[in-house]
A and B are shown apart, each in its own frame.
Chain A
Amino acid sequence: MAVAMPKPSAAILSRRAAIVDALKAIVPGEGVVDGITGMRPFETDGLTAYRQLPLVVVLPETVGQVAAVLRYCHQQDIPVVPRGSGTSLSGGALPLEDGVLLVMSRFNRVLDIDFDNRCAVVQPGVTNLGITRAVEHRGFYYAPDPSSQIACSIGGNVAENSGGVHCLKYGLTANNVLGVEFVTIEGEVVRLGGKHLDGDGGYDLLGLMTGSEGLLGVVTEVTVRILQKPETARAVLIGFPSSEEAGACVAEIIGKGIIPGGMEMMDRPAIHAAEAFVHAGYPLDVEALLIVELDGPGAEVDHLLAAVEAIGNANGAVTCRVSQSEEERAAFWAGRKAAFPAVGRISPDYYCMDGTIPRKELPRVLAGMKALSERYGLGVANVFHAGDGNLHPLILYDANKGDELHRAEAFGNDILRLCVEVGGVLTGEHGVGVEKRDLMPEMFSEDDLKHQQRVKCAFDAKHLLNPGKVFPQLHRCAELGRMHVHKGQVAFPELPRF
C-alpha cells in the first residue's frame, strides 16, 4: 500500500553515523540497534502492509535516558517515533527513514500495586494482560481488554485510547487511567494525575494525552484503576434470520436499561469462518449471531439472562443458548475472538476496518456494504461490537491478484465514508495512524483539524514526535498561530440584552 510520508531529510540521513554514536553515548550496551538485521523486526507494526526501516532503533531503560534521547533529537531536529509492543492496527508505530524509533519495551516493571486505593502503577511496556496477572491473586483485574491484550502494552493503550469487548460497560482506556508520567520532546518530565481523581485540577491534559497516538509525548509511567472481578459471568448465544432482527434485539436490550459486559454480533460469513476454525458450536443456518455476556452478582446475571432471552425471542430469534459452564462460555467467545485468524484461513489476505455508527443505522450500513462488496467484487465478513456500534468489516482479498489490494483499500474507504455519512466516525478503537489519516477531512473541516493541531503545537511545536500520523496535512505551528480577524471589519451583531 502506498501512503505519502513526510519526505526524509537528506541532512539527517547523511549524519546517521554521528547520530548513532550520540545515541549510544546516552543508552549504552544493547540499547541502540543500528544494523539492518537487528532493525528488521521493527520495520512494521500490526498494519503489516506498510514497512519502513527506521534511521535507528533505541531501547531506553530509564526515564533519564528517554529524556536525554528526546532532548538530543529536539536539539538536532530529528523525528522520533515512539513504539510499545508494535500491535497498532493503524500504523501508529510505522517508522520513518530519517527518524529514531523509540521502543519502550524495556520499561516492563509493575511499580506499585495499591489495593486499598484500587490502582496499579506500572511502566508503559507492561502488557495489558500483565496488569491483570499482577493483581488477580486478590481477585482484581484491569477492565479494558483489546483483543491484542496478551501482547499490547499499556503505554500503547494510552497512546491509542484502546477499547475492547468490555468497554461498553467499563469504558475505554481514557476512563480507566488515573495518571501518567511522560517526557516532552524537549526532554521535560511531566506528571499528570496520580492515585487521585480528576488529574491536576487544571486543563485535562491527561484526557488529551490519551489517544494522542504518540504525537504529544512519550509515556514513561501509567497509573490505572483496577476493579474487583465480577462475581460471575455468563453468555448467551442468540441466532437471527436477519441482521435487522438482531439489530432490533440489541436496541431493545439497551432500551430496557441492560448494559451487558459485552455484546457482539457476527454476520453469516464471519460465523461460518469462525465455526470452521474453532468449532465453537455456532448455528450455521442464521444470518446474524449475537453473543451477549452478562456479568455481576449471580442473582443479577440470572435475572438479566432471563430478560435477554425473552427480548431475543420477541425479536425473532431462531436459536438461543445460555452457557451452562465456564468452558461453554469460553467456547462462545473462542469463535468471536478467533474471527480474524478464522477469516485469514478462508482468504489469503484481509483488511480490517474499524468505523463506528449509531446502532440503529446497522441495517442500512450492512446493506450498503453488501452493495459495495458487489461493486468491488470482494467479499466481506463482519464482526461488530454491537453494544457500542463499532464495526469491524473484514474485506477479503488476495494481494497477489491483480489490483485486489487497491480495490480492498478503495472498498474500505467507501465503508468508512458510509459510516461518517450515517452519523458515525472513522475509527472506534484502532486509531487514525497512517491508515485513516487521509480520510480525516471526510469527518472534519479544515478548522476542526487546525484546532486539533493546535494541541500538537502546544506540546511539540517542531512536529518532531511521530510526524506523518493522524493529520493529513501538517501545518507549521507558526502558520497556525496567525490570527485572521481584521480590526473594524467584523460586524457587531444586534443581540438581545437584558
Chain B
Amino acid sequence: MTPQTTPAHPDALRPQTIDDVREVVAAAVAAEEPLAVEGTGTKLGLGRPVQAARTLSLAQLCGVTLYEPEELVLSARAGTPLAEIEALVDGHGQRLEFEPIDYGPLHGLEAGQGTLGGALACNLSGPRRLKQGAARDHVLGITAVSGRAEVFRSGGRVVKNVTGYDLSKGLAGSFGTLAVMTDITIKVLPKCEAETTLVLRGLDDAAAAGAMAAAMGSSAEVSGAAHLPMRVAARIAEGALGREAATLLRLEGFGPSVAARSAHLGAALQGVAPLERYQGAASAALWRDVRDVRPFVDGTDKPVWRVSLAPTQGHELVMQLRMQAAIDAFYDWQGGLVWLRMEAGEAEADLVRATLARLGGGHATLVRASAAVRAATSVFQPQPGPLAGLTQRLKVQFDPKGVLNPGRMG
C-alpha cells in the first residue's frame, strides 16, 4: 500500500479565525447537525467513525503566535503542523518533551502531517512518557469553543499555575468531543546534548521485564525502556538490530552525565545479557521507530491495540493472550505499554479486555482497524457505571446538543 496524503474532505469548513470557528459551531448547534472535528485528518483512524453532516477542519487556523525560547514557552493555533513547530524549536536547541507518536504510517498515511491540536486532542506521547509525561503534562493553556458555541480560555503561559480548573487537561485526550481547541500554549524544553541507548540482547519477555524494572528503579534516569521480542527487533531502524530480541534503555542529558550513567547502568546489568550501545543518531533512530509502532507498519488494517497497564504485568498479558489468539507484540514504558497486532484480523476486544482485567486492569484502545471493525467495537476502554456517568455528564455540560464528534469516543 502506498502511503496516502491526508484524506481530503471536499466540503470541509475551514475557518481561519476563532470567531469563524464559533460561528460554525453555533450554526451546527442551531441546526442540531453534528460536526466532525479534525485538524489535517491524520488521526481519523483513531476512535470510532463519526457520522456527521459536516466536517470542521482546523487546518487553516494555523501559525505560531508566540515563541520565547528563554521562557520555554510556545503558543500556536490548533491547526499548526507539528512538524513546523518541531522544526522551529529544533532551531533553538529545544524540543517537545512529550515525544508525540506519529500515527500516520501505522494508518497508511505519510509521516509528519499531524497538527498541534490533534496531538493534544489525542493526548499523544511517546517512549519518554514514563519519565516526562504526555501532551497533557506539557500544555499550559488553551482557548477553545465548546459545544455551546462559547469561547473560553483556561490556564495561561506559565508553568506553575493552579488558578481555577485545569480545563486544558480535561480537553487533552477528549478527541474533540467537548470543545474545539483553537489556541494552545505548551511548554518546550532544551534538547539533550547527548543520547545513548543500552541494548540487552536475547532476553525473553519475562527476563526483559525484570531488567527494565531494575534499570527504571536505579538512579540512571532512564528516559525510555522498551523490549522488542525476537523477530520484532528486526523491524525497526531498517534492521539495524538484527533478529535477536532487544531490550532498549535510553539515557539522555549532558555528555559527561550520559557517559557516567551509561557506565553505571552497564555495570549494574553486567551478566544479565550481552550488551550493546547505540549513540546519538543511531539511538534516536531506534526510538523513533519504537515511538511510531514501526514493527506494525505493514500496509494492512490488521487490528492493533495499545494497552496501558502496570509495567510488570505487560509480559503476563502477552503470554496469556498468546495461548488464545495469534498475536504479535512488543513493549514500551518498561512493559506498561503493550502494542498488540491481532494476526487473524479479528479485534478480539473481549479477550484482550478480560485478560487485562484479570491482571489488575488498565485500558486497551483499538488504535488501528478497518472502519467496519471500529464501528462494531468499543474502541476505547468501556467504563464502569459511576465513571461512565461522570463522563456522560461532562460531555452534556460542554456539548449539550451532542454536535462535536458524536460517538468518536465510544
Chain A residues lying within 8 Å of B72, measured Cβ to Cβ, are 254
Residues of A within 8 A of B13 (CB): 495, 497
Q: Are A300 and B163 in contact (CB under 8 A)?
A: no
Interface size class of B (residues with CB under 8 A): 35 or more
Of the candidates A229, A257, A424, A429, the one whose C-beta lies within 8 Å of that of B193 is A257
Chain A residues within 8 Å of B88, by CB = none
Are A444 and B164 in contact, CB atoms less than 8 angstroms apart?
yes
A479 within 8 A of B: no
Interchain CA distance A427-B160 in the complex, whole Å: 8
A430: interface (CB < 8 Å): yes
Instruction: Let me know if B112 is at the binding interface, CB within 8 A.
Output: no
| Chain A contacts for B311, CB-based, 8 A | 116-118, 195-196
Residues of A within 8 A of B246 (CB): none
Complex CA gap A495/B20 in Å reads 8
Q: Closest residue of chain A to B165, judged by CB?
A: A452
Name the B residues within 8 Å of A163 (CB-CB): 160, 162
**B159:A388 contact, CB within 8 angstroms:** yes
Q: What is the CB-to-nearest-CB distance from A229 to chain B, in angstroms, rounded to a whole number?
A: 7
Chain B residue with the shortest CB-CB distance to A175? B137
Assembly CA distance A359 to B380 (angstroms): 41
In angstroms, Cα B27 to Cα A488, docked, is: 8
B114 to chain A, nearest CB (A): 18
Complex Cα spacing A210 to B167, Å: 11
Check B390 against A429 for contact (C-beta < 8 Å).
no
Find B169's partner among A207, A443, A448, A498 (CB 8 Å cutoff).
A207
Q: Are B30 and A204 in contact (CB under 8 A)?
A: no
**Distance A495 CA – B398 CA, assembled complex (angstroms):** 25
Q: Any chain B CB within 8 A of the CB of A343?
A: no
Q: Give residues 120-172 of B contacting A (CB, 8 Å).
A: 123, 125, 129-130, 133-134, 136-137, 146, 148-154, 156-167, 169-170, 172
A360, B71: Cβ atoms under 8 Å? Answer: yes
For residue B31, which residues in chain A have a CB less than 8 angstroms away from its CB?
Answer: 487
Residues of A within 8 A of B217 (CB): 115-116, 118, 138, 140, 228
Pick from B15, B172, B191, B257: contact of A204, CB under 8 Å: B172
Give the residue among B148, B165, B363, B397 with the most A Cβ atoms within 10 A: B165
Nearest-Cβ distance from residue A80 to partner chain B, whole angstroms: 18
Of B30, B134, B400, which is in contact with the most chain A CB atoms at under 10 Å from its CB? B30
Task: Report if A451-B154 is in contact (Cβ < 8 Å); known contacts: A211-B165, A211-B166, A229-B219.
Answer: yes
- The CB with the most chain B CB atoms within 10 A, among A161, A196, A208, A443, is that of A196
> What mask results when residues 473 to 498 of chain A are scored 1 for a CB within 8 Å of chain B, else 0?
00000001101111111111101111
| Chain B 160-193 interface mask (CB, 8 Å, partner A; 1/0) | 1111111101101110001000000000011101
Chain A residues positioned under 8 Å from B363 (CB to CB): 196, 198-202
> Is the C-beta of A190 less than 8 angstroms from some C-beta in chain B?
yes
In this complex, what residue of B is CB-closest to A252? Answer: B70
A470 interface neighbour in B164, B257, B386, Cβ under 8 Å? B164
CB atoms of A423 and B312 under 8 A apart: no
**Nearest A residue (CB) for B157:** A423
Which residues of chain A from 113 to 132 have a CB within 8 Å of any chain B CB? 114-118
Residue B237 at the A interface, CB < 8 A?
Answer: no
With a CB–CB cut-off of 8 A, which chain B residues contact A114? 310
Selected contact of B170 from candidates A204, A231, A385, A432, CB within 8 Å: A204
Q: A358 is contacted by which of B158, B391, B397 (Cβ under 8 Å)? A: B158
Q: Report whether B152 and A427 are in contact in the complex, using a CB–CB cutoff of 8 Å.
A: no
Tell me if A168 counts as interface (CB < 8 A to partner B).
yes
Question: Given the complex, which residues of B lie within 8 Å of A1, measured CB to CB?
Answer: none
- Check if A466 is an interface residue, CB within 8 A of chain B: no
Complex-state Cα separation, A389 to B159, whole angstroms: 8
Contact indicator A168/B159 (Cβ below 8 Å): yes
Interface: A339 (CB within 8 A):
no
Known: A188-B386, A455-B167, A490-B27. A202 touches B308 (CB 8 A): no
Residue in chain B with minimal CB distance to A419: B158
Contact A429 B257 (CB under 8 A): no
**Smallest CB gap from B401: residue in A:** A483
Are B23 and A202 in contact, CB atoms less than 8 angstroms apart? no
Known A115-B217, A257-B190, A455-B397; contact A296-B257, beta-carbon cutoff 8 A: yes
- Say if the beta carbon of B261 comes within 8 Å of chain A: yes
Q: How far is the CA of A138 from the CA of B125 in the complex (A)?
A: 29
- Chain A nearest CB from B120 CB (Å) reads 11
Asked whether B191 lies within 8 Å of A228 as measured between CB atoms, the reply is no
Q: Which residue of A lies closest to B214 (CB)?
A: A116
Judge if A39 is at the interface, Cβ distance under 8 Å: no
Do A161 and B221 touch (CB < 8 A)? no
Cα–Cα, bound, A256→B190 (Å): 8
Bound form: Cα–Cα A116–B213 in Å = 5
Q: With a CB–CB cut-off of 8 A, which chain B residues contact A486?
A: 30
Q: Is the interface of B mostly helix, strand, loop or mixed?
A: mixed
- Is A452 within 8 A of B164, CB to CB? yes
Given the known interface contacts A196-B310, A202-B380, A454-B397, the answer about A160 and B162 at a Cβ–Cβ threshold of 8 Å is yes
The answer on a CB contact under 8 Å between B11 and A497 is: yes
In chain A, residues 448-465, which have Cβ atoms closer than 8 Å to a Cβ of chain B?
Answer: 448-452, 454-459
Q: By the criterion CB–CB under 8 Å, are B308 and A451 in contact?
A: no
Q: Please, what's the 1-or-0 string for B32-73, where 1 marks a CB less than 8 Å from any CB in chain A?
A: 000000000000000000000000000010000000111111
CA distance in complex: A196, B193 (Å) = 30
Given A198-B308, A360-B71, A455-B397, A389 contacting B386 (CB threshold 8 A): no
B397 near A458 with CB under 8 A, answer: yes
A299 to B262, CA, bound (A): 12
Q: Which residues of B contact A454 (CB under 8 A)?
A: 397-398
B162 touches A447 (CB 8 A): no
B158–A356 contact, CB under 8 A?
yes
Give min CB distance, B153 to chain A, whole Å: 5
Residues from chain B with a CB closer than 8 A to the CB of A256 are 190
Closest to B178 in A: A203
Please, how many angstroms separate the alpha-carbon atoms of A31 and B365 in the complex? 44
List B contacts of A230 (CB < 8 A). 219
CB neighbours (8 Å) of A491 from chain B are: 23
- Give Cα A188 to B309, complex, Å: 24
Q: Check if A172 is an interface residue, CB within 8 A of chain B.
A: yes
Please tell me if the beta carbons of B153 and A202 are within 8 angstroms of each other in the complex. Answer: no
- Complex CA gap A448/B149 in Å reads 13
Question: Which residues of B sit under 8 angstroms from A452, Cβ to Cβ?
Answer: 154, 164-165, 167
Residue A259 at the chain B interface, CB threshold 8 Å? yes
Q: Pick the residue among B24, B157, B160, B364 that contacts A390 (CB under 8 A).
A: B160
Instruction: Decide yes or no: A231 and B219 within 8 Å by CB, A117-B311, A175-B133, A459-B390 being known contacts.
Output: yes
B14 touches A496 (CB 8 A): yes
Instruction: Return chain A residues, CB-CB under 8 Å to B81.
Output: none
Contact of A208 among B14, B129, B170, B189 (CB under 8 A): B170
- The CA of A457 and the CA of B165, in the complex, are separated in Å by 13
CB-based contact B257/A202 at 8 Å: no
Name the CB-closest residue of A to B221.
A296
Q: Are B160 and A485 in contact (CB under 8 A)?
A: no
B253 within 8 A of A: yes
Could you tell me which residues of chain B, from 254 to 313, have a CB within 8 Å of some CB in chain A? 254-257, 259-261, 264, 308-312
Q: How far is the CA of A497 from the CA of B189 in the complex (A)?
A: 37
**Complexed CA–CA distance, A200 and B308 (Å):** 9
Docked complex: A207-260 residues within 8 A CB-CB of B: 207-208, 210-212, 228-231, 251-252, 254-259
Assembly CA distance A425 to B337 (angstroms): 36
- Is the Cβ of A428 less than 8 Å from the Cβ of B23? no
9 A-B pairs with C-beta separation under 8 A: A194-B310, A201-B363, A259-B189, A388-B160, A427-B163, A443-B163, A447-B151, A448-B154, A490-B149
Q: In the complex, given contacts A117-B310, A208-B170, what are 6 additional A-B residue pairs having Cβ atoms less than 8 angstroms apart? A: A171-B137, A201-B363, A207-B170, A424-B156, A451-B150, A496-B60
Counting from the closest, the 3 A-B pairs by CB-CB distance are A207-B169, A257-B190, A300-B257
Binding site for A on B (CB under 8 A): 8, 10-16, 20, 23-24, 26-27, 29-31, 60, 68-73, 93, 123, 125, 129-130, 133-134, 136-137, 146, 148-154, 156-167, 169-170, 172-174, 178, 189-191, 193, 213, 216-219, 221, 253-257, 259-261, 264, 308-312, 333, 336-337, 360-365, 380-381, 383, 386-387, 389-391, 393-394, 396-398, 400-401, 409
